[in-house]
Structure 1
Amino acid sequence: MYFNVKGNKTFCSNGSGTIDPNQQSVVFVHGAGLDHSTFVLASRYFARQKFNVYAIDFPGHGRSEGNPLNSIKEMAAWLREALDVLAVSRTAMVGYSMGSLVCLQFAADYPDYLRSMALVGTSIPMPVSDPLLNAANENSHDAFDMANTWSHSKRAQLGGNENPGISMMMTGQRLLEAVEDDVFFADLKACNEFTNSLKLAEKISTKTLVFIGDRDQMTAPKNALQVAQAIPNCKIIHLSPAGHAMFSERPNEVLDGLIAIV
């Protein structure tokens, strides 16, 4: 479905479901250079379980128009405005990678909107290496190669997709290649400049679940654990073996965890 946010045509996937004001809602928040398609399995499942599903593309991503946003705080404010347009309140929220930072900022700034939250591949801060940031700034394909390789465990790089015949590595690469110039850099820069301390997490009262991949090279497991331990009402799911791309590498385990929190 399409709707308008700040004058820009914005896309939101409903998981092929329908919207009913009497149903509970779940909002999915994608990562850097990605879009709603990250959440295909989960969004379809919850739509069929009679949830209102909102997997929203940020400006300049996927099917949404507009320029990419410059900071995590700006993304959280934009997301609140999008939810107001959609008349969504008291929702569950699921954030992946950059999206997990948006969720953390959202939970700190707009706690009344949330009833629960799941963070997949998170870290505070979320530093980006100079080689990756510089390559993205130059719109070099090297940025996609680095991010895609570091996002997948060695097992996933060899194969092992639970959907037979589909390469996780090539899927990730094609998704990143679909973004317009400067979008990936803007996202990575926003993550790199999100220098909030763990005190932000300590302020969050929302019931939270954190997924940690034991072989995550993009958001180190020890950093994700620190985030989880800082949030007062938080549970942890450890996935093994799993890299950063947990929605691809461990789809069933992630979905099982989301069912418990959403």
Structure 2
Amino acid sequence: MHIQVSGAPLYAYTGGKDFDAAKPTVVFIHGVLNDHSVWILQSRYLANHGWNVLAIDLPGQGRSGGEPPATVEAAADTVLALLAAVGVEQAALVGHSFGSLIALEAAARSPAHVSHLVLAGTAFPMKVSPALLEASVKAPEKAIAMVNTFSHSTLAPPPSSLGPGTWLYGGSRALMRRVLASNPKVNVFYTGFKACDDYAGGEQAMPAVHCPTLFLVGKHDQMTPPKSAKALAQHARLAQIVEVEAGHALMTEAPDEVLFALRDFLAA
């Protein structure tokens, strides 16, 4: 569904269920050049097990209108504005990569509005190499190939979130191309990476979070190495760390492990 947030339509996938403000709500936030679909298994499961699901496309990309957020802080304000727009007093926030920084900043800015925080494939600082930043503008196809190489841990993963036979590399590349093409005016590849690279508030934000925090870590993650997530977890009040057999693309490489970790954490 589309929700008017800060004067622009924000798309949120609901798992095929009508939104019911009386139910607990979980917001899924994707990373750079991804969209709501990266959470397909987890969002559909929770939507069918008592949760409102809002798996969003960030502004200015995918199915959402508006301007792409140039900073983590601006994106966090969008998430909080979304909660206000749908009349939800409190929600769980689940973010991956760039989305994890957005979820963290939102939870720090308004701790009373966040019941659970899940940071998947996270790191602080989340620095991006100058070569990759440059390639995202001058040679986006090359940059997409680089990101996919570093995001996946194996050429032959077990049955993925889309079922046996899914080609994770090809599917991810196609998604990234589609999201990049969804905004012909702004390079959301560069904008997202630059926002990650610029974000300096992680160590201050983490102690300001009042709710339990789950760190979902891919054991073979080369984009956001596990040691970086564990370093950030040391600043959390109520931290839990779960490692899964995957790289940075852990929702598709280890979909069941990610789902079960989310299910158990949100039930606590």
TM-score of the superposed pair, with normalisation by structure 2? 0.93
> Which residue matches 2:210?
205
Confirm or deny: 8 A CA contact 1:18 1:47 kept in the other structure.
no
1:232 deviation in Å?
A: 1.3
> Which residue matches 2:257?
253
Confirm or deny: 8 A CA contact 1:208 1:234 kept in the other structure.
yes
1:137 deviation in Å?
A: 2.2
Moved over 6 A (4+): none
Distance change (3 Å), C-alpha of 1:57 and 1:185: same
Residue 122 of structure 1 aligns to a residue in which SS? Answer: coil
Confirm or deny: 8 A CA contact 1:159 1:167 kept in the other structure.
no
> Which residue matches 2:238?
233
> Which amino acid letter does the alignment assign opposite residue 190 of structure 2?
F
> Which residue matches 1:223?
228
> Which residue matches 1:127?
127
> Which residue matches 1:177?
177
The one of 160, 185, 189 aligned to 2:158 = 160
> Which residue matches 1:118?
118
1:159 deviation in Å?
A: 4.2
The one of 162, 166, 187 aligned to 2:192 = 187
What is the alpha-carbon distance in structure 2 between the residues aligned to residue 10 and residue 197 of structure 1?
26
1:197 deviation in Å?
A: 4.8
Residue 234 of structure 2 aligns to a residue in which SS? Answer: helix
What is the alpha-carbon distance in structure 2 between the residues aligned to residue 197 and residue 109 of structure 1?
12
What is the alpha-carbon distance in structure 1 between the residues aligned to residue 152 and residue 91 of structure 2?
30
Count of residues paired in the alignment: 259
Confirm or deny: 8 A CA contact 2:105 2:202 kept in the other structure.
no
Residues 158-207 of structure 1 show CA distances to partners (whole Å, capped at 9, x for unaligned) of: 34333211111111111100123501110000000012252321222211
Confirm or deny: 8 A CA contact 1:117 1:261 kept in the other structure.
no
1:139 deviation in Å?
A: 5.3
Q: CA RMSD in A?
A: 1.3
TM-score of the superposed pair, with normalisation by structure 1? 0.95
> Which amino acid letter does the alignment assign opposite residue 4 of structure 1?
Q
Confirm or deny: 8 A CA contact 1:161 1:168 kept in the other structure.
no
> Which amino acid letter does the alignment assign opposite residue 160 of structure 1?
P
> Which residue matches 2:19?
19
Higher mean alpha-carbon deviation, 245-254 vs 83-92, is at: 83-92
Residue 178 of structure 1 aligns to a residue in which SS? Answer: helix
| Residues 68-107 of structure 1 aligned to structure 2 (within 5 Å) | 68-107=68-107
What is the alpha-carbon distance in structure 1 between the residues aligned to residue 216 and residue 234 of structure 2?
12
Confirm or deny: 8 A CA contact 1:23 1:51 kept in the other structure.
yes
What is the alpha-carbon distance in structure 2 between the residues aligned to residue 82 and residue 203 of structure 1?
21
What is the alpha-carbon distance in structure 2 between the residues aligned to residue 33 and residue 164 of structure 1?
24
The runs of 5 or more residues in structure 1 that have no matched partner are none
What is the alpha-carbon distance in structure 2 between the residues aligned to residue 89 and residue 80 of structure 1?
10
